[in-house]
């Protein structure tokens, strides 16, 4: 999906850009990250891009029991790695780390100025009545809680969507966030009556149980290389089991 129309307002907090949640915890929640080697999508002297699995924190959480994260696993191999954005704990897909200070600044500036194109895939409940559309609903983060709500006084938030596949009572959508608010994709889709399968924060119980995990995946990134300025297009297909039960 190619972006058209006027650019969205710059995001003042690029580290939390996109569907990102630095505090994804409910009371009683136990962190049990997946094991296995890092899946490296791209690596050079300036940046590393991995395929983050669902269930792994992007960066360390609160306390030693939440230390294991994509950041620490990357730093075990590239000690200078720094995060330039985050993905939700339950979201899988492309995650970028910078290896030098200049690269960090350049990549975060691209995120802040909305020059990075992101594309996600999500299985949702129900069948949208159209083949494509745009959601324009302002969002507000709840104080002291890892959730957001639709609020007319919230921050402007826009998401484009397009049907990829229809399967029974579920639909696979391609998503393009035009702004980067916490839980934007998850809340926008719930707000139009199509919550993401497996979404433990926003979906009703039957939709949570329709999948083994949150079926949201960061499938594509397009950015400019922080050193050469050349366009860099990155893809990571969802792993096995990315679909309804």
Mean pLDDT of 29-54: 95
| Lowest model confidence (mean pLDDT) among 24-28, 50-54, 129-133 | 24-28
Percent of the chain with pLDDT over 70: 89
Residue 73: both structure tokens together: 């696993």
Is the pLDDT assigned to residue 35 strictly greater than 90?
A: yes
pLDDT at residue number 7: 42
Could you please report the per-residue DSSP string of 174-235?
EEEESS--TTHHHHHHHHTT-PBTT-TTTS-HHHHTTSSS--EEEEEEEEE-TTT--EEEEE
The strand pairing partners of 33, in sequence order, are: none
Is residue 58 within 8 Å of 90, Cβ to Cβ?
Answer: no
Q: How far is CA 96 from CA 17, 149, 207, 212, in A?
A: 12, 27, 30, 26
Question: What is the C-alpha separation between 137 and 42, in angstroms, rounded?
Answer: 34
pLDDT at residue number 29: 76
- Known catalytic residues are 88
| Lowest model confidence (mean pLDDT) among 14-23, 51-60, 148-157, 236-245 | 14-23
pLDDT at residue number 26: 58
Q: Please give the model's pTM, rounded to 2 decimal places.
A: 0.89
Is the pLDDT assigned to residue 13 strictly greater than 80?
A: no
Question: What is the C-alpha separation between 154 and 93, in angstroms, rounded?
Answer: 28
Q: What domains appear along the chain, each with residue ranges and CATH number?
A: 14-235 (3.30.2350.10)
Per the prediction, the chain carries an average pLDDT of: 90
Q: What is the pLDDT of residues 43-79, one digit of tens each?
A: 999 999 999 999 999 999 988 999 999 999 999 999 9
């Amino acid at each position: 999906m190619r972006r058209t129309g006027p650019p969205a307002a710059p995001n003042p907090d690029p580290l939390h850009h996109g569907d990102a949640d630095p505090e994804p915890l409910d009371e009683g929640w136990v962190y049990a990250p997946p094991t296995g080697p890092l899946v490296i999508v791209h690596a050079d002297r300036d940046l590393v891009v991995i395929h983050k699995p669902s269930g792994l924190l992007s960066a360390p959480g609160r306390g030693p029991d939440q230390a294991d994260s994509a950041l620490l696993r990357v730093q075990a191999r590239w000690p200078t790695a720094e995060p330039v954005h985050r993905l939700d704990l339950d979201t899988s897909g492309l995650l970028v780390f910078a290896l030098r200070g200049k690269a960090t600044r350049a990549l975060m500036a691209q995120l802040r100025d909305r020059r990075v194109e992101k594309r996600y895939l999500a299985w949702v409940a129900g069948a949208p009545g159209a083949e494509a559309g745009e959601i324009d609903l302002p969002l507000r983060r709840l104080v002291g809680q890892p959730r957001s709500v639709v609020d007319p006084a919230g921050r402007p938030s826009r998401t484009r969507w397009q049907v990829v596949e229809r399967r029974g009572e579920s639909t696979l959508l391609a998503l393009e966030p035009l702004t980067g608010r916490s839980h934007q994709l998850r809340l926008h889709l719930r707000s139009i009556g199509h919550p993401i399968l497996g979404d433990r924060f926003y979906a009703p119980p039957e939709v949570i149980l329709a999948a083994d995990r949150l079926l949201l995946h960061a499938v594509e990134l397009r950015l400019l290389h922080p050193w050469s300025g050349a366009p860099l297009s990155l893809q990571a297909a969802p792993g096995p089991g990315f679909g309804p039960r």
